Structure formats: C-alpha cells, structure tokens
Amino acid sequence: MCGIIGYVGSRPALPILVEGLRRLEYRGYDSAGVALIDDNLCVTKAAGRLSVLEQVLDLNAPQTAGIGHTRWATHGAPTDVNAHPHTDSSGKIAVIHNGIIENDRALRTYLEREGVTFKSETDTEVLAQLIGMLYDGDLEQAVRKALREVSGTYGIGVLCSDEPNVIVAARKGSPLIIGVGKGEHLLASDAAAILAHTTQVVYVGDGEIARITPDELRMTTLDAIPVAKDVEQIEWSLEEIELAGYDHFMIKEIFEQPEVLENCLRGRLDLKENAIRLGGLVDCTRELTRAKRIILTGCGTAWHAALVGEYLFEELVRIPTEVEYASEFRYRNPVIDDGTVVIAVSQSGETADTHAALAEAKQRGALTLGAVNVVGSTIARETDAGVYLHVGPEIGVASTKAFTGQVAVLAMIACFLGRRKHLSPSAAADFIAALSAVPKQIKQILDTADEAKKVAQQYTDRENWLYLGRGYNYPVALEGALKLKEISYIHAEGLPAAEMKHGPIALIHEGMPVVVIATAGSQYDKIINNMMQVRSRGGSVIAIATEGDREIAKQADHVLYVPNTLEPLQPLLTVIPLQLIAYHAAVIRGCNVDKPRNLAKSVTVE
C-alpha cells in the first residue's frame, strides 16, 4: 500500500526522490520521508501530505544517493516519528519498508533485552535496529542475516553512511523494481515513480536481494546464490500517467475506456474467422478445455468483475464456476479437485490476498491463470498462464477502466473455451461481433455524460443509495455502489433486485435514490416490477435502460440510456453511467476524487 523510491548515481538525488514520491501519491499514504547520504545520513520525514515534507526539505541538497517513502499507517499512528525512513540506534542505517513484519513484537522484545531503545511504534524500526545490530562493515550481509530472522512481507530499501554509494533492496511479497540508467540506478515499488528517467527495469523476485550502486546491479537469493536477471521494457509511457488536461485521473480513465478496450481487444478478436486468439493461453489450451471446474478469485472491483465472469463461464462454457473472495479463500480449506482451474483477477497483479489465494491454489495442484494489467507483476509471473488487460496505467484509486478490461478479458476467455466445448459457430460469431462493437458503444455513452452529472447534482445530498440489478447486471449494481462509497463517502448498497423484498425494502423511504439497471434482457419484466415496488414506497428511481426503451420512463424518475448489446456483454456498458454518477457526486461534495480517505490503490498488506 505504501510507496518506495530510491536513487543512486551522479545527479542530485532529492529532486528525483520527491518527483517519484509525488507520482506514488495515488497509492494512498498518510506520511512521507526521505533519507540522503554522503559522509553522514540525513533523514527528514513528516506526517501528512507530501507538500508538508517539501516545506522542510532543501531541494538544492547535493547528495547523489537516497531513498524515499510514502507510508500508510499500520503499526502506529500517522506521526512524524512513525513515518519512514527508520534508523538504527547508531544513526548510520536507514530503512524504508512496504509490508508487515509479523514477528515484530518478538524481535522488539529481543532487541530491547540487548539494550536497544526504540523511538517509534512501527515494525519497520524493528527491522532497522536488527540490521544495525548485525552490521559489521557489509550492509548486504547484515540485511541478509536480518531477513533470515523475519516473518512476514517486505519490500525494503536500505542505506548506510559507511557505504555511501550503495542501496540494498530485498523483497518478499511486496513489489520492487530497479530502473536501469546510464551510470545510475533507481529503486521503486511502482513503475510510475521512475518512468520519467528510464523504461528499462529489472523485477526483484521473492526471496531476492539486490545490491545497487551507480554502475552495478548484483542480485542474489537470501542464501547468497547469484541470480541472473533480464532487463525488461516498461510498456507504459510517461504521458499515460499525466492528467492530460483532465481535472482528475478518474474522469480521464473513464473517458479512456473506448481507446483502452480497443487495445485490450486488438489482435485477439478475429472477425474473419470468428475466433478468439489468446496467445497467453496457447500452452495450456488442452488442459483448460478438459477443466471440470473454475474458481475465480479477487478483491473489491476485481471480485465484481469475477462475478460477471461466473455468469460468462457457466453460460458460454457450461462449466461449474465459483467466485471466491481472495481474502477468505486463503484461510479456508478449499476443495481443489483434479481438473480445477483458478483464475486470479487483479489490476496491479500485486494484491496480497489474491497472491496468497493463488499460492494456495498452486500448492493444491490447480492450473492457475492470471487476468492482470501490470506486465511483469507477481501474479503475472507466478501463474501458469494468463491474459493481460492492456488498458494502460490506472492511477485513480477507484478502479474504472481496469474493471471493463477485466470483464472484457474474462469474456474473451469464456468465448475461447466455449467454442472448444459447447458454443456453436454462429453463437460465437455473434458474441465476437458484439464484443468488437463495445468500444464505440462506450464512446456513445460518454458523449451523453452530462446526463449522469445531472443525476448526481440532484441526489448528492442524499446519504443512502440503493443499487439493484439482475443476472449479469447484479455485479454491476455492486460495482456502482462501491464506486459511490469509495469516492463520495455516501453510503450505498448493491443488491440482486429479487433480494430487495427479503429485508432491504424496509430501507426505502421518500426520495431515496434507487439506481436500477433495467436493460433489455431475460429478466426485464421482473426488474420493472422491482421499480414499481420502489416507487410505490416513495423511492426515486434512476434507471439504466437500453436505447429505444421509452416505456421505462413511466416507472423511473430519471433514465440514462446505453446502446443495445448481447446480455452477457451488458456490464461493459451499464457500468459507465454508474462510474460517471460516482465521479460527479464526489466532485460536487468536494471530495478528493483520486485519493479517497483511508484507501490505497494497491493493497499489498492484509
């Protein structure tokens, strides 16, 4: 959840560190700090936004090596003292850390018995003090020894004033990349932090340690075994992580969806042959076709996309499919039979719970696939196969284009497998043609975006909203409610519409906004009945309907229209007005759209 940046080279480090931290702000944080090094170690840190830290920094500092961090409080309150970097008692060693040291209390007790006095409440200071105690002139070796005593997750960067041109980095369960430049190296938890300086990177693997100097990068395991690493190219450009004239990243990413879905589908939809081409699944196609059961797992928005996937796989592939919260799957004793396929869905490819669920599935013998956005991410590397979203970097904390990318990828996988099992050529042809039309249809919806803004303006003062959907649009109702909660702080609940009568109808009162996804489909008449029940109790109905449906206005206070498409693909369209309503509601309420309170973009700790 936190951000890491490091630099060692010939240029002044501080401007690079501050710029990197600014690009990591979207991940969520409540304090920030930097450590610079030459003959001495200089640490500056502050609670609050990065701007608070900048006020006390000398941006003309000449040091050419340093590390920086944005912290999201876990152990200890968000205070100056608890902010990273943390130092050992000698003041020579500084550590920045993403993750959680699970045995920190035992280590703290041991170190206190050895005479160490702690300044902070954090688990990270425990690690800094342990490294300091073990240091005997070789920083890399001290880090190696310390990590052998540690349980938990970490991505760390370590400096020592006795070795002023060295950064030691290590990772277990928390992402780290090393940017490669000419006579310089950068360390980061996210490619966004270093794109301004290099697109050449090395991914640090679990259980690996890196010793970084201006001219050398040496990688080893915790057991000091050398590791050969390839330098890889980051696919994203600097322009993709800039606002480009938009007020917020969220609205930029909503409006990018036609273009990024074109990228997602490009080269994968063969309209001439009416086929789906997924190169990432070529090596496991036979095993996939023989699968007896599919489990989809994810968290938050990815879980909602997986719910759509459940409908897709059962309808197109005719195979039993379940959706599991990754955070629950990892702590159960899940039944993984022969022929079980587990698909991990994640934007970042680093979500801690999803990664842990994936590891559990692999250990039990499942074939594992990934549907992730970030190339080279942990889940992408550790699954047996997978399909990238290719929707570009998503900076806004509230996911938008990643959701549509995830649904599109799951739709392609379902059609790809369905055609090899029960899906007829004509049905596949219709599905592929409809999927190829989705980007232009989203553009049509965005051309009428002001209609969603008008809805938000009328109802933003209401503190309780209800979202209802049936079938494929039930997960969209959940996603719409989540978006509103995340960024506007309005309480919202998403439900399968039929469940409204089993309790939640008691909540409906005069003027309560109820968003009903009522597009043409197999359950259209039933959803109209739900709308009538809401209106009879005084609720205000906001309907998402199919273009051309004029009758629905008789049962709704407001209607937002989407183009007609096949029922399995409706979530790709019906979610767009809900994203827009949430965005405008947050803006009207004066909320920080891209950095909502208490949230982080990539949840890499429990």
Active-site positions? 2, 601
Q: What phi, psi does 578 have (nearest 5°)?
A: -70, -35
Angle at 587 between CA 562 and CA 439, to 5 degrees: 30
Round to whole Å and give the CA distance between 350 and 346: 7
- Residue 134 one-letter amino acid: L
* Region of 576 on the Ramachandran plot (φ > 0 left; ψ -120 to 50 alpha; else beta): alpha
Round to whole Å and give the CA distance between 479 and 300: 8
571 upstream amide cis, omega within 30 of 0: no
* Residue 453: HSE in the Cβ half-sphere, 13 Å Cα cutoff: 9
Q: What share of the chain is helix, strand, coil (3-state, %, to 5)?
A: 40, 25, 40
Helix axes 123-134, 104-113, angle to 10 degrees: 50
Round to whole Å and give the CA distance between 515 and 158: 50
Round to whole Å and give the CA distance between 460 and 587: 10
Q: Cβ distance 98 to 63 under 8 Å? A: no
* Region of 4 on the Ramachandran plot (φ > 0 left; ψ -120 to 50 alpha; else beta): beta
* Strand-pair category, 540-546 with 558-562: parallel
- Reference 7, options 155, 178, 232; nearest CA is 178
315 contacts: CB under 8 Å, gap ≥ 6: 414, 568
Neighbours of 502 (CB within 10 A): 9
**Chain CA centroid to CA 272, Å:** 35
- Tell me the H-state helices in 156-283: 249-255, 257-265
Round to whole Å and give the CA distance between 142 and 90: 14
Q: What length does the chain have?
A: 606
Locate 364 and state its tokens. 């039990």
- Reference 312, options 409, 187, 438; nearest CA is 409
**Chain CA centroid to CA 603, Å:** 7
Round to whole Å and give the CA distance between 112 and 120: 13
Which residues are registered as beta bridge partners of 473? none
- Residue 314 one-letter amino acid: E
Round to whole Å and give the CA distance between 41 and 139: 14
Q: Which residue has the tokens 């076709």?
A: 289
Q: Which residue has the tokens 């897709």?
A: 312
Locate 219 and state its tokens. 């990688």
Round to whole Å and give the CA distance between 54 and 48: 11
335 contacts: CB under 8 Å, gap ≥ 6: none
431 contacts: CB under 8 Å, gap ≥ 6: 316, 411, 415, 423, 566, 568, 569
- Reference 601, options 178, 114, 190; nearest CA is 190
